[in-house]
Structure 1
Amino acid sequence: MSTENTSRFHSERRHGDPNDSDPRSPFERDRDRVLYSSAFRRLAGVTQVAAVRERHLLHNRLTHSLKVAQVGRRMAQRLCKDHMEFHEGFAHGEDFFPDVVEVAGLAHDIGHPPFGHTAETVLREKMSRYGGFEGNAQTFRVLTKLAVHAHVDFGLNLTRESLNAVLKYPRYAGEEASQSADHAWPYRERGGKWGVYRSEEQDFIHARKGTTNGMRSLAAVLMDWADDVSYVTHDLHDYFRGGLMPLHSMGREGSDGFLEFAQARRKEGYEAFDEEKFEQEYEEVKRLAPSRKWQDTRDDRKVLDRFMHELLGNFLHAVSPVKINEEWHLHIEEAAEYQVEVIKELTFFHVINRPSLAMVQRGQRQIITRLFDDLLDMFHNHRNGKRDPNYPVPVLMDDIYDAMVKHERVSKFTRTHEERRARAVCDYICALTEDQAINLYECITGQKVAQGSIFGTWF
């Protein structure tokens, strides 16, 4: 395939390109479309681990996504600069790879619901009879169907390469990747879950053209690594400063139970996971960590900054391209993989496993459960698709439903009325910030009806 044809293949959009005279590259335009979308902006109101209303200045989904995009872009730039054979062979001398990884980093969490993984658990249960729910599949749906762009009817109409880079789990429900010895932990080239709804089959086929065997694209592999790196480093930063992560003292006064906790969480086992290597990298993280308790002094900030800088530098340089059977792959150093796993488990041990967070999440589950049930009940009372003032279905939810009907007229995929209503409810909930979800819950339940307003913008 010639360089010109290769470029056209990577940059092809499923719904045509009415602005092909734009001076920006197709992938720069992808980046701008994601960055300026309301779906991306909404992530400022969605939790990362702790709630966005916390008193401490913590990362939310928006700041996390910005950092994933930045880290991923720098990794991609380094690979293209330091490995000319990879640059010439994979990208045919073009510079689209950093742009694509950045687009994927910006977009990778755009479908996550309010309250993050807590809400995912509820929606997964509620949607089990209606096509399922998965946060990564919702991201692909937002990009290809729900987000708005002036020149197309469905989604942001991103390029093939950018859509493929977002697909961390390029398969449908029921097609989870086998964790056999051929692709054991850490599953970078395949991932273990599913990440596409059947309703986006035509978009999926378009994005995956030229990619086989359920493998992630190279940009998706790099974005996934950048996601993990950003997640663990800003978690360490946030929770050490907040007093929840005792980096200065972990394991230094006898066993604190961390290693036992981490091993118990893996009792079902990863293929080829080495507990001894995990313990070695735990010792390395302890060696690098700040040695004194956080007091919020300038010196404290410098010490923490140096620690973050060293970790990020190690993770950035842990990636290298390798050519196997004439195909390019990305290799990540084993020590770096184990260090990331150590920090993930430290976050579970010191933060996510806390009773106080569990109590907050219990309330969040109740909010999402009640919203889903009541909104679906409202839709049941819709008459012939027309708005009924006795059942005030939100305008956006009505619009999502109508768009599904429109799409089904031009695609091979059809839903029952019940499936369509449930999907519209799910899509609508995933379009809310956490404050909007709480406010809507209070309106529906009457908990703060005296403070209610007729200016509910999402109605």
Structure 2
Amino acid sequence: NQLPDDFGEDDDIGQHTELLRSYAKSYDMKLHDFGQYINDDTNVEASIEDVLSFFVELRDFATVVEEFYTPYEWTQSERNLLNEFSSSMISWYLEATEDDPGDREYVELGEHDEDGNPTLLVDNDLRQEIEILKQLTFYYVISNPTLRGQQKGQIQVIDELFELLYDEAAPKSVDTSAILEPYRERLNDTDEDDDTARARIVADMISNMTETQAIEMYERMSGARPGSLQDTIMRQ
């Protein structure tokens, strides 16, 4: 069910509602479900038809290529195409103060408010598009059950790693612990009774790790993977 090449050129895109719905379903994009979510569960002022037509209009971006209409297979070329598309979208909205082909400014300076501060007037269509894209990320990424499960596991790893390192940071254990410099020195310079400062140092150590470093250190400290803790950190 390919859309005709001239689809969307009419001013009244609402007349193509059924074709839009058919298009979304034929590619298994579930855009209609997303549009329903926008309509029912968000404060975005956009109808299902607004959502569907927005995605159809994205076809006009120069970086939208044929591969976008096929199942995603996680290839490097597909990732490169997505990165290029993302960059073009970011540039499009960052440059929204410039005239578009229709000679219409998306963002312009408005009157000063009662406190004398300048205000911005944002085109309603532009605001709607950005809100749709924000909700798209929430709907398909942040609310994705698989991702939520992964995030829950990551939170558990960090929580348990903190407890393990906090025990290692005990005043009488620091010099023989898995705590590395410069955090060991900071702990030695900390009052033995200052549990808050000790916790902050451990938190600083974890926050400066990459995800891989944190997971590998947790695995080694919990016994899930043997090996040198210092080697794990130093080789990253």
* Secondary structure, counterpart of 2:148 in structure 1: helix
Q: TM-score, normalised by structure 2?
A: 0.60
Any conservation in 2 of the 1:376–1:422 contact (CA below 8 Å)? yes
Alignment of 1:312 with 2:91, yes or no, is: yes
Deviation at 1:433, TM superposition (A): 0.6
Any conservation in 1 of the 2:213–2:232 contact (CA below 8 Å)? no
Tell me the distance in 2 between the aligned counterparts of 1:356 and 1:377.
Answer: 32
Any conservation in 1 of the 2:107–2:122 contact (CA below 8 Å)? yes
Q: In the alignment, what sits opposite 2:103? A: none
Deviation at 1:393, TM superposition (A): 2.3
Any conservation in 1 of the 2:217–2:233 contact (CA below 8 Å)? no
Alignment of 1:423 with 2:200, yes or no, is: yes
CA deviation string 1:399-443 (max 9, x = no partner): 55578x69xxxxxxxxx7122122222222111111111111111
Deviation at 1:348, TM superposition (A): 2.7
Identity of aligned residues (%): 20
For 2:58, give the aligned amino acid: A
Label 1:302 to 1:453 Cα distance change in 2 as closer, same or farther (>3 A): closer
- Which blocks of at least 5 consecutive residues in structure 1 are unaligned? 1-248, 267-272, 407-415
Tell me the distance in 2 between the aligned counterparts of 1:330 and 1:344.
Answer: 20
Alignment of 1:345 with 2:122, yes or no, is: no
Q: In the alignment, what sits opposite 1:413? A: none
Deviation at 1:353, TM superposition (A): 2.9
Label 1:362 to 1:337 Cα distance change in 2 as closer, same or farther (>3 A): same
For 2:51, give the aligned amino acid: Y
* Secondary structure, counterpart of 2:174 in structure 1: coil
Deviation at 1:282, TM superposition (A): 1.9
Q: Which has the larger radius of gyration?
A: 2
Label 1:373 to 1:261 Cα distance change in 2 as closer, same or farther (>3 A): farther
Deviation at 1:370, TM superposition (A): 1.0
Q: In the alignment, what sits opposite 1:181? A: none
- Correspondence 1:366-445 to 2 at 5 A: 366-379=156-169, 381-383=170-172, 387-389=174-176, 391-399=177-185, 401=187, 417-445=194-222
- Which blocks of at least 5 consecutive residues in structure 2 are unaligned? 1-22, 97-105
Q: TM-score, normalised by structure 1?
A: 0.34
2:34 to 258, 266, 274: 258
Aligned-residue CA RMSD in angstroms? Answer: 4.1
Alignment of 1:333 with 2:123, yes or no, is: yes
Deviation at 1:444, TM superposition (A): 0.7
* Secondary structure, counterpart of 1:441 in structure 2: helix
Label 1:335 to 1:440 Cα distance change in 2 as closer, same or farther (>3 A): same
Deviation at 1:371, TM superposition (A): 0.8
CA deviation string 1:50-87 (max 9, x = no partner): xxxxxxxxxxxxxxxxxxxxxxxxxxxxxxxxxxxxxx
Any conservation in 1 of the 2:168–2:174 contact (CA below 8 Å)? no
Q: In the alignment, what sits opposite 1:363? A: 153
Aligned residues: 187
Any conservation in 1 of the 2:38–2:44 contact (CA below 8 Å)? no
